[in-house]
């Protein structure tokens, strides 16, 4: 059974304090791994798609990496506006376009 586990559940950082969020996954055949950002009361906002181990994607202070078992979302010198819940999801080759989501990591960045 496909499974996605995100850690930690919550992370509190000071502004400028870099850190990483983890997404561990189990799928029979990975088609893609997706990162989303979700602000309170809003829908998830797409950030990145990673397709194969070794791939990296960057956007402003965020960098996503992928191995065969997990993905990391690195946040460099975060700002308060980076505070949000970050969601990871996977697509399995055998499950069509369905996304399996983790429960998310709630990030809080204090000034």
Note the residues at the interface with another protein (CB under 8 A).
31-32, 34, 36, 41-46, 49, 51, 87, 89, 91, 96-99, 101-104
- Nearest distance in Å: CB 7, another protein: 13
- Nearest distance in Å: CB 67, another protein: 18
Residue 2 vs 76, nearer CB to another protein: 2
Strands 19-26 and 45-50: unpaired
Residue 53 vs 77, nearer CB to another protein: 53
Q: What is the largest CA-CA distance in the chain?
A: 44
How far is Cα 94 from Cα 1, in angstroms, rounded to an integer?
A: 11
How far is Cα 99 from Cα 32, in angstroms, rounded to an integer?
A: 9
Residue 78 vs 102, nearer CB to another protein: 102
- Nearest distance in Å: CB 2, another protein: 10
- Nearest distance in Å: CB 14, another protein: 27
Contacts of 29 (CB under 8 A, 6+ apart): 92, 93, 94
Burial class (CB in 10 A: 0-12, 13-18, 19+), 50: buried
Residue 61 vs 100, nearer CB to another protein: 100
């Amino acid at each position: 059974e496909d499974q996605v586990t995100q850690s930690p559940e919550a992370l509190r950082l000071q502004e400028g304090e870099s850190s990483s969020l983890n997404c561990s996954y189990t799928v029979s055949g990975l088609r893609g791994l997706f990162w989303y950002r979700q602000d309170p009361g809003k829908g998830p906002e797409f950030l990145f798609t990673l397709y194969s181990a070794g791939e990296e994607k960057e956007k402003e202070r965020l960098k996503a990496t992928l191995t065969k078992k997990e993905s990391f979302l690195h946040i460099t010198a975060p700002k308060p506006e980076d505070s949000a819940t970050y969601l990871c999801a996977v697509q399995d080759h055998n499950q069509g376009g369905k996304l399996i989501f983790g429960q998310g990591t709630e990030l809080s960045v204090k000034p």
